[in-house]
Amino acid sequence: MNIFLAEWKKSHRNHFHSKMVYFSLFIWPVLLFATAYFSVKPFDTSNSSPLAKWMDPKQISFFLLTGYIGYVFFWSLVQSAWQMSWERQNGTLELIFLTPASRVWMMYCRAGANLIEGVWMFTMFSILIALFLNDRPIPPVENIVFAFMILCISAVVWGGCLNTIFLFSRDASILFTILEEPMQFFAGVRIPVAVLPLWGKVLAALFPLTYVLQIFRSLLMDSKNIINVLPELGLLASLLIILVGISYVLVRKAEKHAKRTGNMVLF
pTM of the model: 0.83
Residue type, position 246, single letter: I
pLDDT surpassing 80 at residue 87: no
Q: Is residue 113 part of a domain?
A: yes
Q: Which of 39-53, 80-94, 154-168, 208-222 has the highest mean pLDDT?
A: 208-222
- Give the total number of structural domains in the chain: 1
The strand ranges marked E within the chain are none
pLDDT surpassing 80 at residue 137: no
**Mean pLDDT throughout 187-205?**
88
The strand ranges marked E within 117-201 are none
What's the pLDDT score for residue 225?
A: 85
Q: Is residue 70 part of a domain?
A: yes
* Cα separation, 183 vs 158, whole angstroms: 13
* Cα separation, 164 vs 43, whole angstroms: 43
**Mean pLDDT throughout 10-26?**
63
What's the pLDDT score for residue 7?
A: 58
What's the pLDDT score for residue 149?
A: 92
Question: Taking all residues of the chain, what is their mean pLDDT, rounded to a whole number?
Answer: 78
Q: Is residue 66 part of a domain?
A: yes
Burial state string for 217-256 with b = 16 or more CB within 10 A and e = fewer than 16: bbbbbeeeeeeebeebbebbeebbeebbeebeebbeebee
pLDDT surpassing 80 at residue 200: yes
Task: With CA atoms as reference, report the closest residue to 66 among 237, 218, 197.
Answer: 218
What's the pLDDT score for residue 154?
A: 92
Within 8 A by CB and 6+ apart from 47, the residues are: 57
SS3 category, 63: helix
**Mean pLDDT throughout 189-193?**
86
Q: Is residue 30 part of a domain?
A: yes
Q: Is residue 90 part of a domain?
A: yes
Q: Is residue 267 part of a domain?
A: no
**Mean pLDDT throughout 156-177?**
77
Structural domain span for residue 105: 2-261
Cβ-contact 184, 190 below 8 angstroms: yes
Residue 215 binned pLDDT confidence (cut-offs 50, 70, 90): very high
Query: Which is higher by pLDDT, 44 or 231?
Result: 231
Q: Is residue 142 part of a domain?
A: yes
What's the pLDDT score for residue 239?
A: 93
Query: Which is higher by pLDDT, 43 or 191?
Result: 191
- Residue 111: CB atoms within 10 A of its CB come to 25
Residue type, position 12, single letter: H
Q: Is residue 266 part of a domain?
A: no
Task: With CA atoms as reference, report the closest residue to 159 among 78, 67, 248, 105.
Answer: 78
Residue 153 binned pLDDT confidence (cut-offs 50, 70, 90): very high
Which of left, alpha, beta for 188 (phi over 0: left; psi -120 to 50: alpha)?
A: left
Q: Could you tell me what percent of the chain has a pLDDT over 70?
A: 72
What's the pLDDT score for residue 92?
A: 60
Query: Which is higher by pLDDT, 125 or 203?
Result: 203
What's the pLDDT score for residue 3?
A: 57
User: Which of 83-97, 162-176, 232-246 shows the lowest per-residue confidence on average (mean pLDDT)?
Assistant: 83-97
pLDDT surpassing 80 at residue 24: no
Task: With CA atoms as reference, report the closest residue to 16 among 120, 159, 156, 117.
Answer: 117
